Amino acid sequence: MSFQSRKSQVFPGITYYHQTRKAVYLLGYDIGSSSVKAALVEVDSGRTVGMVKYPETEMAIHAPHPDWAEQDSDEWWGNLCKATRQLLLDHRVEPAGIKGIGIAYQMHGLVLVDKEMRPLRPSIIWCDSRAVEIGDKAFEAIGRTVCLRSLLNSPGNFTASKLRWVQQNEPALYARAYKFMLPGDYIALKLTGRAATTASGLSEGILWDFQQNRLSEDILNHYGIGRELAPELTPTCGLQGKLTAEAAKATGLAAGTPVTYRAGDQPNNALSLNTLHPGEVAATGGTSGVVYGVVDKLIYDNESRVNSFAHVNHQSDQPRIGVLLCINGAGIQYSWMKHQVAGRGLDYVEMERLANSVPVGAEGLSILPFGNGAERMLNNRTIGGHIHHLQFNRHSRPHLFRAALEGVAFAFVYGVNILKEMGLDVNQIRVGNDNLFQSAIFSSTIATLIGSRIEVLDTTGAVGAAKAAGVGAGCYASLEEALQKASVVDAFEPAPEMGSYQDAYGRWESALNAALK
């Protein structure tokens, strides 16, 4: 096989190779809280060869106490192995033809391992609220100005505060801890045998000092966390390790295949949508909902209602900060509606059709979707889900379906208004062709109320992770080159008649304000 080398313009120190003969592939994973997705991408064409999701039904989230949320991290690994083997079988790709692996993963979780690299307890995942009070106290004790200037956030209910909870409440287990990790770090460990993390990952755990460009001494000292518990640092995009023989046997891949990219799911989704530069905005509507805008300065929200993290292409001398609005109660609310109200006879397509038979505003019915833990944009309040103004002789299932979709859309609008206060431009938003944004009701409601065009691109997080892995593996010279082939498949424009949307949003916002009192 012949290769032609060329120098990197983005990540110095990586030698890039462009294949001129036999087809080669890239493999991307998206480790979600509902499933593991795996995607194969052909390097030269940028074409997605195939995708697999495992399991078909959603993975369980365990709540041993109110407002807790845990998952078995080895279940992620088992599902990744099954998805990989199925992908290879379905598309008859030789494992040796895969030149790089990328990992996207659910953010803000905590995995603790012992010296044998085995998990000590279930992972405390992103929507777990047990550490809210710990983070609030740390914000005051360390100092609000210090935290916002250095961390760009309050310690909040993020990975560092969850680690402190374990230290305080499970001291015997904590004493056995060898390394703390984010969910993607654990998957990379299982693949490569190497315990490592990234600056982007540490920033999402509120463990990264942007002023000093290193692990935060303020957080470590305040929480009494030993530096030795932190994994070694590896680049977001670059060689992070190679598949061990054990991992190759479990997945069906070739030993020695390099892992060359990892990032949290929301920075990765933004990357997948070619959202890399200041002024660009992406959104997703999965289990949680997210709007993610890129800026070129160390910006933060004084109230920490939205959060700033290192983007995948962040460098200390060329800042790229992702400002993230997260709504925990998004797709999970509509999934609840499907399973508990729609029942087995209706799928999402039929629910959309029925919801469309009801006018904008669902004839006065409003639903608050905040039943999935503490909501950051509500100052970490846990207010639960609410159904307002339900009339038994007027409202039916289609009204509930429409009000549920609108309720999540209104939550997006509420959060986007915070981003606008911070100076972000949201005149155009890029989204993936999956999850809630497949709903015309949902997408049109947001587009109309914020006056923004929403472009739907044909890509997913797993595909984006695969393409980014191609940069780290030397198949592409830049992230821009890797992502240039994503195509727009749909678009939603603001509706010309806004009155009914504004009236419905006003009722919803009044219900929210009442719940927050």
pLDDT tens-place string over residues 242-295? 999 999 999 999 999 999 999 999 999 999 999 999 989 999 998 889 999 999
- pLDDT at position 22 is 73
- Read off the amino acid at residue 102: G
- pLDDT at position 16 is 39
Average pLDDT, integer, range 498-517: 97
Average pLDDT, integer, range 180-187: 98
Q: Which tens digit of pLDDT belongs to each residue from 446-459?
A: 999 999 999 999 89
Q: What is the band of 23 on the pLDDT scale with cuts at 50, 70, 90? A: confident
- pLDDT at position 373 is 87
Residue 510 DSSP code: H
Q: Is residue 377 part of a domain?
A: yes
**Whole-number mean pLDDT of the chain?**
93
Rounded Cα–Cα distance for residues 154 and 160 (Å) = 11
Strand ranges in 35-147 using DSSP code E only, listed in sequence order: 36-42, 48-54, 70-71, 98-105, 111-113, 123-124
Q: Are 243 and 192 in contact (CB under 8 A)?
A: yes
Q: What is the band of 304 on the pLDDT scale with cuts at 50, 70, 90? A: confident
Average pLDDT, integer, range 467-481: 96
| Count of positions (residues) in the chain | 517
Q: Which two tokens stand for residue 230?
A: 């932190």
The pTM for the full model equals 0.86
pLDDT at 94 > cutoff 80: yes
- pLDDT at position 12 is 40
Q: In this structure, are 357 and 496 located in the same domain?
A: yes
Average pLDDT, integer, range 219-247: 98
- pLDDT at position 4 is 35
Rounded Cα–Cα distance for residues 491 and 397 (Å) = 28
pLDDT at 17 > cutoff 70: no
Q: Is residue 445 part of a domain?
A: yes
Average pLDDT, integer, range 368-377: 92
Q: In this structure, are 359 and 499 located in the same domain?
A: yes
pLDDT at 312 > cutoff 50: yes
Q: In this structure, are 334 and 208 located in the same domain?
A: no
pLDDT at 8 > cutoff 80: no
Average pLDDT, integer, range 24-33: 96
Looking at the chain, the whole-number percentage of residues with pLDDT higher than 90 is 87
Q: Is residue 140 part of a domain?
A: yes
Q: Which tens digit of pLDDT belongs to each residue from 335-350?
A: 999 999 998 889 999 9
Residue 342 DSSP code: I
pLDDT at 20 > cutoff 50: no
Q: Are 382 and 373 in contact (CB under 8 A)?
A: yes
Rounded Cα–Cα distance for residues 428 and 294 (Å) = 13
Q: Are 269 and 284 in contact (CB under 8 A)?
A: yes
- pLDDT at position 442 is 97
Q: What angle, rounded to 10 degrees, do the helices at 440-450 and 397-421 form? A: 40
Q: Is residue 42 part of a domain?
A: no
Compute how many other C-beta atoms are within 10 angstroms of the C-beta atom of residue 346: 15
Range of the domain at 220: 108-181+199-233
Rounded Cα–Cα distance for residues 290 and 376 (Å) = 12
Q: In this structure, are 346 and 209 located in the same domain?
A: no
Q: What is the band of 384 on the pLDDT scale with cuts at 50, 70, 90? A: very high
Q: Per the structure, how many domains does the chain have?
A: 2
- pLDDT at position 498 is 94
Q: Is residue 438 part of a domain?
A: yes
Which residues on neighbouring strands pair with residue 215, listed in sequence order? 208
- Tokens 């709007």 found at: 291
User: Residue 31 — φ and ψ, nearest 5°?
Assistant: -90, 95
Q: In this structure, are 509 and 382 located in the same domain?
A: yes
Answer positive or negative: Cα dihedral of 103, 105, 108, 113: negative
Q: Is residue 352 part of a domain?
A: yes
Q: In this structure, are 221 and 333 located in the same domain?
A: no
Q: In this structure, are 346 and 205 located in the same domain?
A: no
Q: Which two tokens stand for residue 22?
A: 């036999």
- Cβ neighbours of residue 68 closer than 8 Å, sequence gap 6 or more: 62, 124, 128, 129, 130
Q: Is residue 300 part of a domain?
A: no
Closest residue by Cα to residue 55 from 79, 78, 28: 79
pLDDT at 49 > cutoff 70: yes
Range with lowest mean pLDDT among 3-12, 64-73, 339-348: 3-12
Average pLDDT, integer, range 92-114: 97
Rounded Cα–Cα distance for residues 33 and 286 (Å) = 10
Average pLDDT, integer, range 371-376: 90
Q: In this structure, are 227 and 343 located in the same domain?
A: no
Q: Is residue 420 part of a domain?
A: yes
Which residues on neighbouring strands pair with residue 264, listed in sequence order? 105
Q: What angle, rounded to 10 degrees, do the helices at 348-355 and 397-421 form? A: 90
Find the helix or strand (DSSP H, E) in which 85 lies.
Answer: helix 73-91
Range with lowest mean pLDDT among 104-113, 155-164, 429-438: 429-438
Which CATH number characterizes residue 433's domain?
A: 3.30.420.40
Q: In this structure, are 331 and 221 located in the same domain?
A: no
Average pLDDT, integer, range 27-31: 98
